[in-house]
Structure formats: structure tokens, C-alpha cells
């Protein structure tokens, strides 16, 4: 067995974008490839093992693995990227925020734009400019940092004006992202429209059927929470998935959970106005 080929196989799967393939045969082969890498290269092997856990929907194991490795090896770039990926998929904002701030304050990796950009993006997502946020932006001389800080403050005020609890919103965001990461790897876009209390999640590579499937999955994840007060409060926030840019969704659009035809009609109308080729006979880019 060629170790170089195994590294390529690991990267092909763990760095892929799209629906996860958790076929047992593939996962067994991937596990063995990761085991071989662990024997050949400690740090790279640990990072691959963590990414394996994240890919197979065990990000808590990935987080534990990388935190322990960081204590021993320090904030190696690969380990730290794996650590952040795991924390993002778990979706607990307080934990993710602390991890970002530890990286950006305590390590040389502060110079890596990936971590700073992700920290700002997720701080905006979670409407949080508290704690070390302002200092980190100042220290890193972030362009337009005053506007970023003010923008988040404005979002917070608007959310309060809508009588929407910030912690409820963050939990909705976390559960929605986790539901999507359970089936898909890679990136997607999200837009929270505070005036309408709508969380719109977009990936242009999803098919129409996948947008409906993911809309159902994220809403089921919210409804399955054991906290009844959260369920009642979260019901005020509409969450749905689309396969075209969020800015193309009309401001007055309302997604009725009991009528999937509403979203289907919107997607179909956008497809008619912006025809595009099929990908593998299934996925339409709109």
C-alpha cells in the first residue's frame, strides 16, 4: 500500500465539498488510510483523525483529539484548522469564540487570515462583539473595524426590537448548521433577515429536492429539542434552504412550513428566469 496514495485518498474525501458519502466500505478504507498516516506522521495523522471524526459526524471526538494534541504539539497550523472545523460543526458559539480568541491572542497563527476572517464572520453570524472582539480587530489593524463593530451593535439592537431572544437565535443557528453538516461537507452561505426573522441558507450546488430535504432537516432539529420554551420561541424564526443567492429571495417572501409548494414555486421561477446547465443530470446552478 502506497502511503502517498493514501494521503491523496484522505484529502479527496475529507476536503470534498458536497453530500457526504458515509458508505461503510469507503469509511473502512478511509479509517485504515488514516491509521497508516498516524503511524507515519504524528501531527498530520492526528489532524487527519480529527477530520475523520468530523466528517463522520463525531465532531466532539475531533475537538477532544485536537485540544489534547495542541497541549502537546502547540498550535500547529493543520491541527488548529482541524480544531476550528470541529468546533464550527459542533456549533456552540461560546466554545468556538474562545477557541478563535485563544488562537488570535496567544499564538503566531493570528497572522493567518483564515482564522481572523472566520472569527469576524462567525461573530457577525452570532451577533457578538463582546469581550476581546474589539481589541482583536484593533490589534490586527482590521480595515473598517469600527464599522464592523457598529454593524454588530446595530444587529443586536434590531434583534431586540423584534423581541427575539439572542440566545434562542444562536441556538437556531447552531442546530441549523449542525443538521446540514450531518449530511454535507464544505461551505454554504447564510443570511439572517432580522426584520422578517428569517434564516436563509444557500448552496448553489444543492438540487431542488435537496433544498426541501435540508429545510425539513433543520426544522426537525429545532422541533426535536427537549426545551419546550426554546421550541416556542424558535417558532418565530423561519429557516429554509435554497440553491441560489440569498439576495434573490424577495424581501416579502414567507416560507410556510405546511406548504412546501411555496418554496418550490420560488425556486422554479428563479430557474426559469436564470436557466443554467444541469450538473450530473441533477443539480441545477441558479
Domain final residue, candidates 90, 118, 133: 90
Q: Are 147 and 134 in the same domain?
A: yes
pLDDT at 233 over 90: yes
Q: Are 11 and 79 in the same domain?
A: yes
Rounded CA separation 221/179 (Å): 7
pLDDT at 156 over 90: yes
Q: Are 114 and 175 in the same domain?
A: no
Percent of the chain at pLDDT > 70 equals 87
pLDDT at 270 over 60: no
Domain final residue, candidates 104, 138, 161: 161
Mean pLDDT of 261-283: 45
Rounded CA separation 115/189 (Å): 18
Q: Give CA separation, 10 vs 29, 114, 128, 184, in Å.
A: 9, 22, 35, 17
How many domains, the chain? 3
Domain final residue, candidates 90, 111, 143: 90
pLDDT at 235 over 50: yes
Range of the domain at 170: 166-284
Amino acid at each position: 500500500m502506497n502511503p502517498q496514495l493514501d494521503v491523496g485518498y484522505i484529502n479527496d474525501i475529507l476536503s470534498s465539498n458536497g453530500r457526504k458519502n458515509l458508505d461503510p466500505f469507503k469509511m473502512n478504507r478511509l479509517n485504515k488510510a488514516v491509521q497508516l498516516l498516524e503511524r507515519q506522521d504524528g501531527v498530520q495523522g492526528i489532524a487527519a483523525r480529527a477530520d475523520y471524526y468530523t466528517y463522520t459526524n463525531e465532531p466532539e471526538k475531533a475537538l477532544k483529539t485536537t485540544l489534547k494534541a495542541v497541549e502537546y504539539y502547540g498550535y500547529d497550523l493543520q491541527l488548529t484548522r482541524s480544531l476550528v472545523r470541529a468546533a464550527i460543526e459542533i456549533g456552540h458559539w461560546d466554545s468556538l469564540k474562545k477557541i478563535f480568541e485563544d488562537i488570535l491572542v496567544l499564538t503566531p497563527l493570528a497572522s493567518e487570515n483564515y482564522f481572523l476572517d472566520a472569527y469576524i464572520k462567525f461573530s457577525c453570524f452570532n451577533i457578538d462583539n463582546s469581550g476581546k472582539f474589539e481589541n482583536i480587530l484593533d490589534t490586527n489593524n482590521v480595515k473598517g473595524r469600527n464599522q464592523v463593530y457598529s454593524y454588530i451593535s446595530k444587529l443586536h439592537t434590531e434583534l431586540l426590537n423584534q423581541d427575539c431572544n439572542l440566545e434562542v437565535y444562536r441556538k437556531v443557528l447552531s442546530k441549523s448548521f449542525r443538521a446540514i453538516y450531518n449530511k454535507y461537507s464544505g461551505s454554504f452561505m447564510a443570511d439572517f433577515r432580522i426584520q422578517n426573522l428569517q434564516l436563509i441558507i444557500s448552496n448553489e450546488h444543492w438540487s431542488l429536492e435537496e433544498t426541501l430535504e435540508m429545510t425539513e432537516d433543520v426544522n426537525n432539529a429545532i422541533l426535536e429539542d427537549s426545551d419546550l420554551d426554546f421550541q416556542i420561541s424558535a417558532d418565530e424564526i423561519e429557516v429554509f434552504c435554497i440553491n441560489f443567492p440569498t439576495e434573490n429571495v424577495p424581501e416579502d417572501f414567507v416560507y410556510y412550513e405546511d406548504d412546501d409548494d411555496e418554496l418550490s414555486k420560488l425556486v422554479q421561477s428563479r430557474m426559469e428566469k436564470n436557466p443554467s446547465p444541469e450538473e450530473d443530470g441533477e443539480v441545477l446552478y441558479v
